[in-house]
Amino acid sequence: MSKIIKVIYIIFLFVVVFSINNIFGQEDVPEAEKESPNYTATSYYLIEDVWNTNKTDIEPDTLLIDFVFFDPINNGNFMSASLGAFGHNHRILDITPLSLEQNFRNIHYNHFLQNRSNFKIYNTSSPFSRLYFATGIPKLQYFGGTHAQSVKNFNFGVDFQVINSLGTYQRQRVTMGSASTYLKYVTNNKKYGILASFQFNQFTAQENGGIADDSLFTYNEEPFRPGMPININTKAENKYLDNEFALTHYFDFLAKNDSTISKFTFGKIIHNLQISKQKWLYLEEEVDPFQRPVTHTSLDNTYDSTLFRKISNSLEMENKINFRLHKKENFIGLNFGLKNEIYTIGDYFYKSQINSYTPFLKAYTKIADLNISANYHQMFTHNENAKNDLSLKLSYNIKEHLFSFSYNNINAQADLFYFNYHANYNQWDLPAENSSFNSISFSYKNKFFDGGISSQHIANYVYLNHLAQPTVYDENISLLKSWADFSWNYKILHSQTKLSLHTSNADSILMLPTYTVRERFYFVFYMFKKAMLANAGFELSYIPEYYGAYYSPELMDFYLNNEHKIGNFLMLDIFIGFKVKRLNFFAKMSNAPQGILPYNYFGTPHYPLQDRNFSLGFSWRFYD
């Protein structure tokens, strides 16, 4: 291992020295990479916007720097608190707003799964394929790929990924497989379109309860990490399985068989159908009832299974007028519809069904560079309080400056898990009540800056207390958060700084750091007569000291901690990368200064982050 580290250091220093010598000698590297002559432009949009004629297409990540940071939980504005092993549960250090849509529980590994928030539909005139692979020490294999193709009026695609992460400590292994596919068809006259999609996820994570003695890590008394004692010594693991089939189609009475935009769109009917199933399973062998009291079934093992099914149908009518103003396309629209959802929840003791009806109204307009939209949803369920969601969004784009404002008011119920749950170690039956979430946000974006500020007010906030039991916070919470992403470049020098800030009157409940900082500094330059594009740099991140949430393996969730502080540590990753035509390759050393700085890098109390480790990977794109 030490030889590998020395080799990486030497290669990194060589690339940095080479780049510094060429700062003033090289031509500026263009921000948009120059593709080969047979490159065909490819873009994508999210599945939720499939029939939105004014959707924004997104270019796939093709820059050399993007693939180096292949961990999806480290690319947002707000950092995360993880359990150390790649792919395992993690907690985004931000507040997740309420959702009118009923869910059973928060999925703390959702960033690694295929779901509707990242389901991509590709626009490409020729076949587009991409494969990627990353491996590292400790044992990590991360493999995935994409294929999308259009044939006449048909468009179809496939995405998949496989993760096998062993971790450093005993019983940390995570295995995951996920896939999604879609088939889209639109008639020549654009009057009818249909999209069928399917997604599947399977997740298994071993649970060790964290290390038994933190001092063995903080004083580095046990350098052999697999030999460090853990809190759960028997076989314990969480399993998760989900699948979803979705069908959406429309009929447009006034669509035209040409490239022009219809002046009127009255009575465009859109129907959506979703059928999904989620299953959670916690397994633990050789349970000791004297150490961990059980509530049901066998005393020598735990087999907690929970099933959640959902069938959703919605019918929407789109009414829209398009017009030209100052040589720009503009529109004004009013949509309305009705959504019906049937939820089924079941465990060893409890089974129920919820039937909800949600009428909704959407008003929106675009006039020149001004976009305004307003949405209102009112949900009705049997014998429960009515729930509603009102949102207003306004954005103004002048040249390369985008100003945005949003307001959101949600009165809804927290996840069903907080009110009815029955398992071997925990069970509760609590009366359901609504929480409310109010938010006002301002943001600004240009070529070099993307940031904003948000004021949030929460009533009846539901959380897991210090005993990992659901509790309603009986005071109103006020939270002020802000974020900023600064980027700049000079010739071959590039820098990106991400900042986040939280202040609230309920720090002991929310358990968020007051701020976080991440800095990426790197060189991008050509080598070998521009046959190769190379980069080299580092990422530095810092989280101040704060009370990080505890993790409960049997609940697969995080709960209150007001006694054990973590944070106040620096993490430094060093990376190099190369691109030759369509092949991207990188090598990265994470936590490079291990041994120089204190051993205090806990992602979650009792769960240290990885020691110094090395990873490499490649990404290969194909165009036919």
Residue pLDDT, tens place only, 117-154: 889 999 888 888 999 999 987 789 999 999 999 998 99
Q: Provide the terminal-to-terminal Cα distance of the chain, rounded to the nearest Å.
A: 41
Q: Residue 376: in which H helix or E strand, if any?
A: strand 370-381
What is the predicted pLDDT for the residue at 256? 60
Q: Which two tokens stand for residue 515?
A: 């701020």
Residue 183 has a pLDDT of 97
Give the whole-angstrom CA distance, residue 90 versus residue 205. Answer: 12
Per the model's pLDDT, the better-predicted residue between 496 and 40 turns out to be 496
Q: What percent of the chain has pLDDT over 70?
A: 88
439-475 pLDDT, tens digit per residue, is 999 999 999 999 999 999 999 999 999 999 999 999 9
Element (H, E) at 544: none
CA–CA gap between residue 101 and residue 414 (Å, rounded): 10
Hey, how many other C-beta atoms are within 10 angstroms of the C-beta on 380?
14
Cα 447 to Cα 404: distance, rounded to the nearest angstrom: 15
Tens of pLDDT along 76-100? Answer: 778 999 999 999 999 999 998 888 8
Asked whether the predicted pLDDT for residue 241 surpasses 90, the reply is: yes
Question: pLDDT tens digits, residue range 495-518?
Answer: 999 999 999 999 999 999 999 999
Q: Could you tell me the pLDDT band of residue 32, with boundaries at 50, 70 and 90?
A: very low
Tell me what pLDDT residue 234 has: 87
Q: Over the stretch 310-362, which tens digit does the pLDDT of each residue have? A: 999 999 999 988 887 777 788 899 999 999 999 999 988 888 899 999 999 99
What is the bridge-based pairing of β-strands 236-251 and 42-46?
unpaired
* pLDDT value for 399: 86
Question: Which residue, chain included where needed, has tokens 């010594």?
Answer: 233
Is the per-residue pLDDT at 593 higher than 60?
Answer: yes
The string of pLDDT tens digits covering residues 545-571 is 999 999 999 999 999 999 999 999 999
For residue 279, what pLDDT is reported?
96
Position with higher pLDDT, 560 vs 383 = 560
Least confident of 47-56, 101-110, 264-273: 47-56
**Position 257 pLDDT exceeds 60:** no
Q: Is residue 4 very low, low, confident or very high in pLDDT (cuts 50, 70, 90)?
A: very low
Residue 5: CA count within 13 A, CB half-sphere: 12
Please give the pLDDT value at position 64. 59
What average pLDDT does the segment 409-416 reach?
A: 93
Chain-centroid distance of CA 591 in Å reads 23
| Strand 301-325 with 515-527, pairing | unpaired
How does residue 258 score in pLDDT terms, banded at 50, 70 and 90?
very low
Evaluate if residue 59 carries a pLDDT over 50.
yes
- What is the secondary structure of 145-212 as a DSSP string? EEEEEEETTEEEEEEEEEEEE--SSTT--EEEEEEEEEEEEE-TTSSEEEEEEEEEEEEEEE---SBS
Q: Is 178 a residue whose pLDDT tops 50?
A: yes
Separation of alpha carbons 508 and 525, rounded Å: 47
What pLDDT was estimated at residue 368?
86
Residue 585 has pLDDT above 70, yes or no: yes
Phi, psi of 12 (to 5 degrees): -60, -45
Residue 65: in which H helix or E strand, if any? Answer: helix 64-68
- Whole-model pTM: value is 0.89
Mean pLDDT of 511-528: 92
Query: Can you give the pLDDT at residue 33?
Result: 43
pLDDT band at 42 (very low <50, low <70, confident <90, very high): confident
Does residue 35 carry a pLDDT above 50?
no
Q: Which residue has the tokens 């060189």?
A: 523
pLDDT at 295: 64
User: Encoding tokens for residue 292?
Assistant: 């961990």
pLDDT value at 604 more than 50? yes
d(CA 319, CA 332): 9
* Residues 6+ positions from 409 with CB-CB distance below 8 Å: 389, 390, 391, 436, 437, 438, 439
pLDDT value at residue 292: 63
Across the range 155-173, mean pLDDT stands at 94
